Structure 1
Amino acid sequence: MLCIKCGKEIADSSAYCNYCGQKQSSKSTKTKYHKRERGSGTIYQDKRYKKPWLAFAPSSKYGQGRQYIGCYATRNDARAALEDFIKNGRPELYNATLADIYEMWSKIHYNSVSYSAVKLYSSMWKRFKDVQEMPVRDIRTAHIQEIVNAATSKSSAEIIKAMATMLCKYAMENDIVIKNYAEFVKVPKFENKEKRIFTAEEIKALWKQSKRKSAQVVLFMIYTGFRIGEMIALRVEDVNLDVGYIIGGEKTEAGKNRIVPIPPSIPELKGFIQQWCTDTGSGRLFPMRHQRFREDIFDDALEAAHIEPTGLTPHCTRHTFASLSSASGIKPESLQKIIGHANYATTAEVYIHQDITKLIDEMRKIKR
């Protein structure tokens, strides 16, 4: 061919002229691929994906509309997958249900999270009952949105969406779906309902039943603010009765291994704890199953004290503790440290290294 600038003869494959150095074409030198024959499937590149080469089965042979096979790092990989699909049929996980994905995902994910997180996800998985047996490739945003809309609180709705997002992501990683439809789900607005707390009369009724182990445990939660999981995880070595505090907590970084003083003005609590330490043979302060706590402990205590259970849950003891602490005049920064919340006010950051004696003095303000 002739150089486009000097007109001298150069090799047909030359990108530049050997004589004047002129580039011979401004056109793209991208590799051109032959168009696949009709009915043989589709392969195309979409650079939005980490593996940009997408393969689809031929629609004429496998029902209405083309069927997604997977995404691949190279075009050759995509072509090989498509040819294997046409020759051998759909891949093993093509018809995987959401339950199949959950089983595979949970075996991996549950090894990297806390026991309380596993219990939470296991509980939330029940909310997916209407779609558990559906093929993942058939699940769309509307299916997940319906589950989220049925949640009774914002936190539950957010957890359901997060869990659905992780399941769909796992399906994407295994080339079962091409899009994470859970990401498009909207968490609805929820009204902030006033949390039910134990009244002064109800607490007094519990004290009248304080010879019962169940009532003692509920009172312990009311005056320490421990969550159920945190309380059940406590061990004898976590208790320091000489100084008057317990080390425990989980769920958040702010809540882990925090110091919770035993209110000095309520010596009966120290007596309960001392007896529990003596009675246990397992090293655990409360050798009980999380699943049985509501019936064996909480409901039993309320029934013995003739307390109407409507609106009361074990977590209400924690809200009661916060309300009692605030009403008693405990400083907000001290309460946040005792209860294990991470949302410290900016001016409260100086209290991070607060001495245990100061916290005990604060708890002294709580009376029976």
Structure 2
Amino acid sequence: MKRANSNGSVTKLSGNRRRPYLVRVTLGWNEKTGKQIRKVIGTYITQKEANKALADYLDTPYDLELANITFKYVYDKWSQPKYQKVSNSAILGYKSAYDNVEKLHNMKIKDIKARHLQEAIDNCPKGLATKKKIKYLFGQIFAYAMQNDIISKDYSKYIDIGKTLTENKREPFNTKEIELLWKHLDDIEFIDTVLIMIYSGFRIGELLELEIININLTNKTMLGGLKTEAGKNRLVPIHPKIFPLIKKRYDSNEKYLIVNFKGKKMKYDNYYREKFIPIMEQLNMKHRPHDCRHTFATLLSNANANSTAIKKMIGHESYITTEKIYTHKDIEELRKNVELIK
């Protein structure tokens, strides 16, 4: 069965097919043979869908090469210039969001509708914060595709990420939990990284970005940090308790302090799924990574540390300077305060 007009046709293919209706359009004529030059738009489940696809094309013709562009292709093209303008922390967030919607990667972006995006959000096992990042990524991807005439409609605006069912509280590790972490230092892999975050205030992303070149074992300091202007390149004295942990991981032949089993930089999502969550489950603790940073601030506060020193070490937004110049006196003041933590 074939229905045609001067510009295209709908043909039902033989056999038992899931999408039996083939739509082709006529792009022109071969001057030598006199035959039509035709291109396939796609295949469809019903004749009604096929007729609509043909009618839509004839109403507003589009570049059929663009029609085959995938979500992954647009992401790659969008991310190249984007990642040159944002922080490493933002890049980690975008990459994590992208990794959580793997089923969309090889779909043609023109075929992705609101229901596909909603299913990706609904099937994501992560929390509200991750789903917000995914929705924001969708908005960026679809905006880029529209700007480059790949699609004509942005479905990302119709996505509902829902609401968190429980209040998003930050719970610091208590004394018994910290003692338990130390107790299992030698028998649970990567538990040292949790302790390093608790005694330094570094976020996961900041710890994974910490370079060997920015660790001074002589002065016992670390220079790192991401996100805010106040948080970037902040100096944190290495607490005596975690100095042996830092020293053990320190390898001048590596670029980063924390590396995977291949000796490569660890990805945020891999660390969180493969290291942090299993540690918490094994010790029957219910904490999120950011609780480590909150614990550091709480320990400093409970030890009556100087408020300015606390702001400097955790990278609080209220402490911003044009240039961070740490004198010997500054370093000793920070060290004195961090060592108040017992």
Q: Do Structure 1 and Structure 2 share a fold, with TM-score over 0.5?
A: yes
Contact persistence 2:231–2:316 (CA under 8 A):
yes
2:94 maps to which residue? 121
Root-mean-square deviation (Å): 4.1
Among residues 234, 241, 259, which one is paired with 2:210 in the alignment? 234
- Is the CA contact (8 Å cut-off) linking 2:170 and 2:290 kept in structure 1? no
- What is the aligned partner in structure 2 of residue 162 from structure 1? 136
CA distance in 1, matches of 2:208, 2:321: 32
Aligned pair 1:63/2:51, yes or no? yes
From the superposition, tell whether residues 185 and 310 of structure 1 become closer, same or farther in structure 2 (CA, over 3 Å): same
What amino acid sits opposite 2:207 in the alignment?
M
For 1:270, the equivalent position in structure 2 comes to 243
Match of 1:220 among 188, 196, 212: 196
User: Contact 1:249–1:255 (CA<8 Å) still a contact in 2?
Assistant: yes
Contact 1:240 1:246 (C-alpha < 8 Å) held by counterparts:
yes
Verify the 8 A CA contact 2:230 2:321 in the aligned structure 1. Answer: no
Secondary structure (helix, strand or coil) at the match of 1:63 reads helix
SS of alignment partner, residue 259 of structure 1: strand
What amino acid is the match of 2:201? G
Q: What is the rounded CA distance, in whole Å, between the counterparts of 1:358 and 1:95 in structure 2?
A: 60
Q: Does structure 2 retain, via aligned residues, the 8 Å contact 1:196–1:312?
A: yes
CA distance in 2 between counterparts of 1:285 and 1:324 reads 24
Structure 2 Cα separation of the partners of residues 69 and 260 of structure 1: 64
Structure with higher Rg: it is 1
- The one-letter code sitting in structure 1 at the alignment partner of 2:199 is Y
**Identity rate of aligned residues, in percent?**
31
Cα distance change of structure 1 residues 164 and 215 upon mapping to structure 2, 3 Å threshold? closer
Q: What is the rounded CA distance, in whole Å, between the counterparts of 2:97 and 2:70 in structure 1? A: 17
1:224 partner SS: coil
Tell me the residue number matched to 1:101.
Answer: 74
Q: Distance in 2 between matches of 1:170 and 1:316?
A: 36
2:212/2:256 contact within 8 Å kept: yes
Query: Aligned partners of 1:298 and 1:130: how far apart in 2?
Result: 25
* Compared CA separation, residues 211 and 310, structure 1 to 2 (3 A): closer
The offset of 1:112, in angstroms, is 4.7
CA distance in 2, matches of 1:295, 1:64: 44
- Aligned residue pairs: how many? 283
Bigger CA drift: 254-263 or 213-222? Answer: 213-222
Q: Is the 8 A contact 1:98 1:134 kept in 2?
A: yes
Q: Which amino acid aligns with 1:102?
A: Y
Are 1:286 and 2:233 an aligned pair? no
Quick one: distance in 2 between partners of 1:296 and 1:182?
Answer: 30
Q: Following the alignment from structure 2 to structure 1, what is the Cα–Cα distance between the partners of residues 156 and 271?
A: 34
CA 1:356–1:118 in 2, change beyond 3 Å: closer, same or farther?
same
Displacement of 1:363 in angstroms is 1.7
Distance 1:209 1:107 in 2: 42
The answer for the alignment partner of 1:179 in structure 2 is 153
Q: Secondary structure at the match of 2:51?
A: coil
Instruction: Say whether the 8 Å CA contact 2:92–2:205 is kept in structure 1.
Output: no
Report the CA distance shift for 1:287/1:154 in structure 2 as closer, same or farther (over 3 A).
closer
Q: Which consecutive residues of structure 1, in runs of 5 or more, have no partner in the other structure?
A: 1-38, 41-61, 71-81
Whether the 8 Å contact between 1:161 and 1:182 is mirrored in structure 2 is yes
- Give the equivalent residue in structure 2 for 1:198: 173
SS in 2 for 1:188: coil
Unaligned runs of 5+ in 2: 1-5, 8-49
Alignment partner of 1:324 out of 299, 312, 322: 299
> What secondary structure, in the 3-state scheme, does the structure 1 residue paired with 2:223 have?
strand
Q: CA deviation at 1:63?
A: 2.7
Determine the C-alpha separation between the residues in 2 that align with 1:220 and 1:120.
Answer: 22
Output aligned runs, 1:286-305, within 5 Å. 286-288=258-260, 289-291=265-267, 293=271, 302=279
User: Which structure carries more strand by proportion?
Assistant: 2
| Deviation at residue 259 of structure 1 after TM alignment | 1.1
Q: How many angstroms apart in 2 are the aligned matches of 1:273 and 1:107?
A: 34
1:99-137 CA deviation, whole Å, 9 max, x = no partner?
A: 443344345544554555444333322443454454433
User: For 1:336-347, what aligned pairs fall within 5 Å after superposition?
Assistant: 336-342=311-317, 344=318
1:276-320 Cα distance to aligned partner (Å, 9 max, x none): 44x5433543344415646886578x59xx962443454442232
1:250 corresponds, among 210, 218, 226, to 226
